[in-house]
């Protein structure tokens, strides 16, 4: 049976024996399966190559680097809301906190444009891989 179906594991072979009417114990089938070296290798996940982690450096002047992220919470009545936060990395000053039920990438861009008019353009902006941040609209901005 193992030659006929080489991709079957021990459990499937045992169930097939039982369907064909053999009165055999699963422990005996397992022992014979192992002795004949029929066990299959388990499929493992492919490992993602490790990325080079860069240390987080403290900026020396304000408006050099900003960090952006979203937070989610719920009101006491159970309705969820999100906040869009922009922080200056030099002194951890909150430059913008936008509260809304839904914040799209277009809304993120409009908030960033207001910040750029007020504070000027930073050298770098640090973000995670959230759906609003990987949108093409924000990449074009």
Q: What is the pLDDT of residues 32-65, one digit of tens each?
A: 888 888 876 667 777 877 878 878 788 888 889 9
Question: Exposed, middle or buried: residue 122 (CB in 10 Å: 0-12, 13-18, 19+)?
Answer: buried
Question: Exposed, middle or buried: residue 14 (CB in 10 Å: 0-12, 13-18, 19+)?
Answer: buried
Question: What six digits make up the tokens of 48?
Answer: 């993602």
Domains in the chain: ranges and CATH:
1-42 (no CATH), 65-140 (3.30.420.10)
State CA 95 to chain mean position distance: 27
The three-state secondary structure class of 41 is coil
The model's pLDDT over 93-103, given as tens digits with 9 standing for 90+, comes to: 999 999 999 88
**108 contacts: CB under 8 Å, gap ≥ 6:** 68, 84, 132, 133, 138
Lay out the sheet containing 124-126: strands in order across: 93-100, 80-88, 65-74, 124-126
The three-state secondary structure class of 40 is coil
State CA 56 to chain mean position distance: 21
Q: For the whole model, what pTM was predicted?
A: 0.60
Task: Report the pLDDT value the prediction gives residue 32, as an integer from 0 to 100.
Answer: 85
pLDDT at 117 over 90: yes
**Percentage of residues in the chain with pLDDT exceeding 70?**
98
Task: Report the pLDDT value the prediction gives residue 138, as an integer from 0 to 100.
Answer: 83
In this prediction, residue 8 has a pLDDT band, given cuts at 50, 70 and 90, of confident
């Amino acid at each position: 049976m193992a030659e006929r179906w080489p991709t079957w594991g021990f459990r499937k072979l045992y169930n097939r024996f039982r369907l064909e009417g053999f009165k055999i114990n699963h422990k005996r089938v397992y022992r014979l399966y192992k002795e004949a070296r029929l066990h299959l290798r388990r499929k493992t996940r492919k490992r993602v190559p490790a990325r080079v982690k860069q240390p987080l450096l403290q900026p020396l002047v304000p408006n050099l680097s900003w960090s952006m992220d979203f937070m989610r919470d719920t009101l006491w009545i159970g309705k969820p809301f999100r906040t869009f936060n922009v922080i200056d990395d030099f002194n951890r000053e909150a430059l913008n906190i936008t509260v809304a039920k839904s914040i799209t990438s277009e809304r993120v861009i409009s908030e960033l444009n207001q910040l750029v008019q007020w504070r000027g353009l930073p050298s770098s902006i640090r973000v995670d891989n959230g759906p609003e941040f990987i949108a093409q609209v924000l990449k074009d901005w």
